[in-house]
Amino acid sequence: MLILCFLCVYSNPVLAGGVWNESACKKDDDGASIGLGNLSVSSSTDYLSGTTVYYPDIVASSSCTFKIIGWANGMGTTGGKEYGDYYQQLASHGFVVAASHSGASNASTILASAQEVLDLNNNSSSPLYQNLETATYGVMGKSLGGKAAGEAIMDPAGTGAIAVALIGLFNPDTNYSIEKPALFATSDADIYQPNVLTGYNNAANDAIYAEANGISHMDLSYSDEIAAL
């Protein structure tokens, strides 16, 4: 496992976020870039209920398939727009984001939204038709949504999780730990920093712990604060 410290975007805002390589179906990135990728982004609730999908505009014309990331909101946060910075950043790098509208984030809500967007792969009216990676997906969430992501990654199709400023990742009834690649992001000023660190320390393998300086729990809702991820 790896521990690192990440900087807010304001420390070096000139670094580009990498360039999409259509022939390789991935972003070309030297690993040092931060911020938005070069892909323009659209969002839609068409054909969906309880989910907003954010996707790179090239999806409809691309020969590539794109991986879904299911998103879970923090406690008391509802709708598919509250963490727009995250959605825009993820989609600009070539991911399709399934943003759950639920404010009661748990594994079932994030998995339901991911599945709802996955179903668009078979909907000929959708720009995502036949352009999604359907075998696997990632999960991500903030605060209580980080806990939901930690639970949802136990789904067999889950490949990796990102938990931002999570609350109480571990269920005392099951005492599980994340057994797939995971990023635990927090700040030294986050009231839930101890929870995030506990989640990292109990992760089974391939875990990264990232800690910013001076960013509050609420401010971690904005991706420009942790764009170095």
Q: Are 78 and 103 within 8 A, CB to CB?
A: yes
Instruction: Provide the domain limits for residue 85.
Output: 2-225
Determine the average pLDDT of the residues in 5-18. Answer: 42
pLDDT classification of 227: cutoffs 50, 70, 90: low
Say how many domains are in the chain: 1
CATH assignment at residue 54: 3.40.50.1820
Q: Are 66 and 133 within 8 A, CB to CB?
A: yes
Q: What is the pLDDT of residues 13-56, one digit of tens each?
A: 334 567 899 999 988 877 666 778 899 999 999 999 999 999 99
pLDDT classification of 159: cutoffs 50, 70, 90: confident
Determine the average pLDDT of the residues in 155-181. Answer: 68
- Count of beta carbons in the 10 Å neighbourhood of residue 202: 14
Question: Taking CA 187 as the corner, what is the angle to CA 193 and CA 221, rounded to the nearest 5 degrees?
Answer: 100
Q: Half-sphere exposure (CA, 13 Å, Cβ side) for 124?
A: 0
User: What's the chain's average pLDDT?
Assistant: 82
- Count of beta carbons in the 10 Å neighbourhood of residue 57: 14
Flag the least confident range among 82-86, 118-122, 157-161: 157-161
Q: What is the pLDDT of residues 77-112, one digit of tens each?
A: 889 998 988 899 899 999 999 999 998 778 888 999
Q: What is the 3-state secondary structure (H, E, C) of 67-80?
A: EEEEEECCCCCCCC
pLDDT classification of 176: cutoffs 50, 70, 90: low
Flag the least confident range among 16-20, 141-145, 175-179, 209-213: 175-179
